[in-house]
Amino acid sequence: MKETHPAAMPNCFDKWCQRFDHCFKTKAQKREFRNYLGGLLGESERKNLSQIAENNIKIVYNRLHHFITEAPWKASEVNEVRLSVMNKCSQSRISRGFALIVDDTGHRKSGNFTAGVGRQYIGEIGKTDNGVVTVTTHLYDGKKNLPLDIELYQPASSLPEGKEDKEFKKKPELAMELIEKTLSRGYRPGIVLIDSGYGNNKGFLQQLEEKKLKYIGGVAKNRKVYRRLERENCEGIRLDEIAKSLPSEAFKPVNLNLDKPKTVWVAIVEARTGRQEHYKTFAIVMNANCFEKATDIDYLITNVEKEKVTEEWVAKTYSQRNWVEVFYREAKGWLGLKEYQVRVKTSLERHFILVFCAYSFILWQKLTGGLRRQWANKPLRSFTDALEAFRTAMSSAFIAWLNENRDVFVAYKASLGFIWR
């Protein structure tokens, strides 16, 4: 969508924005909140401040920049309202026993003036590069994937005093703070899903157990464990060595329904990570029925009661982590999560939370069926389906506004040096 006007937005959009009005002190802040959110939801391929201002009539870059960088409002307050709105509706309410997904994501960023930027591992490209990384928590309950919280990770190299800087926190520390936020709201997950970046951290797992949280986490293939069948004074055995030694009959096939149907083979092993520790359940998940043929192997640990841990339960439960990747793909590809023209940490966090608001608005519309009834003649099965329906509504509202405000549009075109006939 190359041109629109803030006044030419569907009624459902303004009703959503009104729920956040008490977070802002002035009419200008309320106006720019709507402008920024509308820009994120628009059809423009780029979602930075310049592009949002350029593609919308009556949106001024300096005002939008002031809103995201200097205006006195709190991203944390907006985020709490967002979750409260989702939790009040029966179709979008946060269900009991949901899976809490803890993850981190990054994207490339040039220069060294943006908060948190530095050479670090960027999962998006699978290697170390100059970029920004955030730690996030997400909810998945079988019906919806909802982002909960986000925190900027600041590597030591990006801080004046390095690891001694008071702002420096490791990713597991940030993740635990986000988990505590979730618990403080009264949301109690049935399972916490983490990758090996957190599953390899014994202190992090211990904190989860102290909070009486069940988890499934990835662990490194070279992690040494002690099995019941081995001598107590042995040095332990690596998980990949266990996987190599198991017969093919030990692996049970499990069919997964992800983006595409997929079959994995799972083996369950009981072991300890240390001689004095309690036994835990480990799982080896492969994309083939024997170690020699497998090209993709995951090693998992869980503290769930061993009676409940079956091959099918482990594979299907842990596969729910895939939904966080779906969110990143949608938020980065459609809503500009990694496109911003700000450098300060506070401004970055504001941008991230506003992207969360835009995503939640489309998700809420999809779950409640409002867009389906008026703007689509097919079921809205995905986020992109619902977003496209809303963009259709935006286009229709703009055309209706244009018919009633032709003089404003002509003046806008004239200001750019064009003639509208």
Using one digit for the tens of pLDDT, what is the confidence trace for 61-98? 999 999 999 999 999 999 999 999 999 988 889 888 99
Reading the block at residue 278, the tokens are: 């309690």
Q: Does the pLDDT at position 230 exceed 70?
A: no
* Residue 105 CA to its chain's centroid (Å): 8
pLDDT tier at 374, thresholds 50, 70, 90: confident
Helix (H) or strand (E) holding 140: strand 127-140
Q: Quick one: pLDDT at residue 372?
A: 81
Q: Does the pLDDT at position 260 exceed 90?
A: no
Give the whole-angstrom CA distance, residue 299 versus residue 39.
42
Q: What is the mean pLDDT of residues 306-331?
A: 95
Reading the block at residue 148, the tokens are: 């909960």
* pLDDT one-digit tens code per residue, 340-362: 889 999 999 999 999 999 999 99
Q: Is 95 exposed, middle or buried (0-12, 13-18, 19+ CB in 10 A)?
A: middle
Q: Quick one: pLDDT at residue 234?
A: 64
**Strands 237-238 and 224-227, how do they pair?**
antiparallel
pLDDT tier at 213, thresholds 50, 70, 90: very high
Q: Mean pLDDT lowest for which of 64-68, 135-139, 226-230, 353-357? A: 226-230
pLDDT averaged over every residue in the chain: 91
Maximum separation of any 2 CA atoms in the chain, in Å: 89
Q: Quick one: pLDDT at residue 19?
A: 97
Residue 318, classed as helix, strand or coil, is: helix
Whose CA is closest to 304, among 203, 139, 190, 140?
Answer: 190
Residue 388, classed as helix, strand or coil, is: helix
Give the whole-angstrom CA distance, residue 237 versus residue 235.
7
**Residues above pLDDT 70, as percent of the chain:** 96
Position of tokens 């994120």?
40
Q: Does the pLDDT at position 1 exceed 70?
A: no
Give the whole-angstrom CA distance, residue 165 versus residue 151.
17
Ordered domains of the chain (ranges, CATH): 11-73+369-415 (no CATH), 80-328 (3.90.350.10)
* Rg, C-alpha atoms of the chain: 24
* pLDDT one-digit tens code per residue, 7-52: 788 899 999 999 999 999 999 999 999 999 999 999 888 888 998 9
Q: Does the pLDDT at position 420 exceed 70?
A: no
Reading the block at residue 383, the tokens are: 């986020």
Q: Does the pLDDT at position 3 exceed 60?
A: no
b/e string for 98-137 if b means 16 or more Cβ within 10 A?
bbbbbbbbbbebeeeebbbbbebebbbeeeebebbbbbbb
* pLDDT one-digit tens code per residue, 143-177: 899 999 999 999 999 999 999 999 999 999 999 99
Give the whole-angstrom CA distance, residue 285 versus residue 114.
39
Helix (H) or strand (E) holding 256: strand 252-257
Reading the block at residue 303, the tokens are: 């503290």
**Strands 127-140 and 99-108, how do they pair?**
antiparallel
